[in-house]
């Protein structure tokens, strides 16, 4: 009655909404600790890694033209983790807005790729756009890691990280508010 693409799509959709809801509830119940946010980030990476491997096995023909982009995104994730571990001794948990938008894009993109028999051109276009957006998200995370002198948790954008850094410099009298226009 239901094919594998339908079952897999439902699993992806349920997992996406479950991830979204656990974050909403953790914030509402004030249980969103730094440790929990880092664990949530690791769970997200693990989930999409399994999704990527599954799609590479099942839809290799659709993903093959994008193998360099996919490898580049894997390298970006590794780079972010290595930088954060080398600087701060922990994994990333920025939960940056571009990353959240990317997660929102990855859910329907994954479902389209799973259903590629019905919509091959749409699936390919969505996949390409999602992969390119991923590079923007990783650039933002890399800038956040580079800008802050402490491990970032829930920093919305690199601009916010820069503002936090400037305020920290003012607080430590490294620069004056007038010099940087922060007064």
Top pLDDT among 58 and 183 is at 58
* Global pTM value: 0.84
Q: What percent of the chain has pLDDT over 90?
A: 52
Range of the domain at 46: 4-157
Q: Which of 22-31, 68-77, 123-132 has the lowest mean pLDDT?
A: 22-31
Q: Give me the helix-helix angle, 97-114 and 120-147, nearest 10°.
A: 160
Residue at 96 is within a domain: yes
Question: Is residue 16 pLDDT above 90, yes or no?
Answer: no
Specify the number of domains making up the chain: 1
Residue at 183 is within a domain: no
Residue at 162 is within a domain: no
Q: What is the C-alpha radius of gyration for the chain, rounded to an integer number of angstroms?
A: 19
The Cα–Cα gap between 100 and 171 comes to 31
């Amino acid at each position: 009655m239901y094919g594998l693409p339908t079952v897999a799509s439902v699993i992806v959709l349920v997992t996406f909404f479950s991830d979204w809801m656990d974050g909403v509830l953790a914030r509402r119940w004030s249980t969103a600790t730094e440790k929990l946010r880092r664990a949530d980030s690791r769970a997200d990476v693990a989930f999409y890694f399994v999704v990527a491997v599954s799609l590479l096995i099942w839809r290799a023909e659709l993903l093959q033209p994008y193998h360099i982009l996919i490898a580049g995104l894997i390298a970006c994730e590794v780079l972010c983790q290595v930088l954060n571990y080398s600087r701060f001794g922990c994994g990333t948990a920025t939960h940056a807005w571009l990353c959240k938008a990317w997660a929102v894009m990855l859910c329907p993109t994954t479902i389209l790729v799973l259903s590629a028999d019905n919509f091959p051109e749409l699936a390919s276009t969505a996949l390409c756009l999602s992969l390119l957006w991923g590079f923007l998200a990783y650039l933002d995370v890399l800038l956040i890691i580079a800008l802050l002198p402490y491990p970032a948790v829930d920093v919305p954008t690199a601009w916010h990280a820069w503002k936090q850094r400037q305020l920290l410099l003012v607080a430590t009298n490294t620069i004056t508010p007038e010099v940087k226009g922060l007064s």
